[in-house]
């Protein structure tokens, strides 16, 4: 092999190494939702297409139901605390999507959002038809099952759900970058990861 061929091979190897280093920097993508499209409704009754309407901005998204007092309020508060940490890229959006669309209609989500002082931009509380929500939850691997039912002292019947505990970070191209235990992961870790997007 001549010297010039060796030099060409060296340049090619350097180039490949450079490309490898470029692609290996930054977080890996766990999934890609860019080809998906789910028709949802926000707390104001406005149509929202997920994830299309959030493309171009990083998105923090948690999954909740409003009759859940412990874990889901923990997830909601964590999303709010990630926002409060103020380490997110400009334009970042924050969404909470219910997996209990039969009960969590827009007006219910609105009062829930108001209690957490999150009934404003950049927060979005989303519901939809039961079929659409089921398709979305299947796609993002959020599961639920009725765990128990009871009647309150005022005679109101309430059922409770066992469910996944999840917060996702989705990049501006609708790709899943991080998947956390929604109530378990320290907020500063999520905020730090969000800063990397």
Partner 1 sequence: MKALTGILFTLTVLLFLTSCQQESNNQTNGELMQGEGIEVSDAWARPGAEGRMSAAYFLISNFNSEDDVLTNVETDVAQTAEVHESYEREEGMIGMRAVPQLDVPAQSSVRFEQGGLHVMLMDLTQQLSEGDTFQLTLTFQSGDSVAVDVPVRL
| Residue 116 binds partner 1 (CB under 8 A) | yes
Cβ distance 165 to 89 under 8 Å? no
Q: Dihedral of CA 63/171/138/35: which sign?
A: positive
Q: Report the residue from 162, 189, 192, 195 that binds partner 1 according to the rule CB under 8 A.
A: 162
| Residue 115 binds partner 1 (CB under 8 A) | yes
CA 112 vs CA 36, 86, 104, 109: distances in Å: 28, 23, 9, 5
Q: Dihedral of CA 54/51/181/115: which sign?
A: positive
| Residue 138 binds partner 1 (CB under 8 A) | no
| Residue 145 binds partner 1 (CB under 8 A) | yes
Cβ distance 52 to 38 under 8 Å? no
Q: Report the residue from 42, 43, 66, 174 that binds partner 1 according to the rule CB under 8 A.
A: 66
| Residue 68 binds partner 1 (CB under 8 A) | yes
| Residue 70 binds partner 1 (CB under 8 A) | yes
Binding site for partner 1 (CB under 8 A): 66-71, 73-74, 77, 80-81, 108, 111-112, 114-117, 143-145, 147-148, 150, 152-154, 156, 158, 160, 162-165, 181, 183-184
């Amino acid at each position: 092999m001549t010297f010039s061929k060796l030099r060409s091979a060296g340049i090619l190897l350097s180039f490949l190494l450079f490309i490898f280093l470029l692609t290996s920097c930054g977080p890996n993508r766990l999934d890609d939702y860019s080809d998906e499209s789910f028709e949802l409704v926000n707390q104001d009754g406005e149509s929202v297409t997920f994830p299309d309407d959030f493309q171009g901005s990083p998105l923090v998204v948690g999954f909740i139901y409003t009759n859940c007092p412990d874990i889901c309020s923990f997830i909601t508060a964590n999303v709010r605390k990630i926002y409060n940490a103020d380490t997110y890229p400009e334009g970042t959006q924050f969404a909470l999507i219910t997996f209990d669309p039969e009960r969590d209609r827009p007006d219910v989500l609105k009062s829930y959002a108001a209690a957490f002082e999150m009934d404003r931009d950049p927060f979005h509380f989303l519901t939809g038809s039961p079929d659409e929500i089921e398709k979305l939850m299947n796609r993002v691997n959020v599961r639920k099952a009725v765990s128990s039912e009871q009647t309150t002292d005022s005679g109101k019947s309430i059922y409770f759900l066992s469910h996944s505990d999840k917060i996702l970070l989705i990049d501006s191209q609708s790709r899943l970058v991080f998947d956390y235990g929604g109530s378990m992961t320290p907020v500063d870790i999520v905020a730090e990861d969000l800063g990397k997007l």
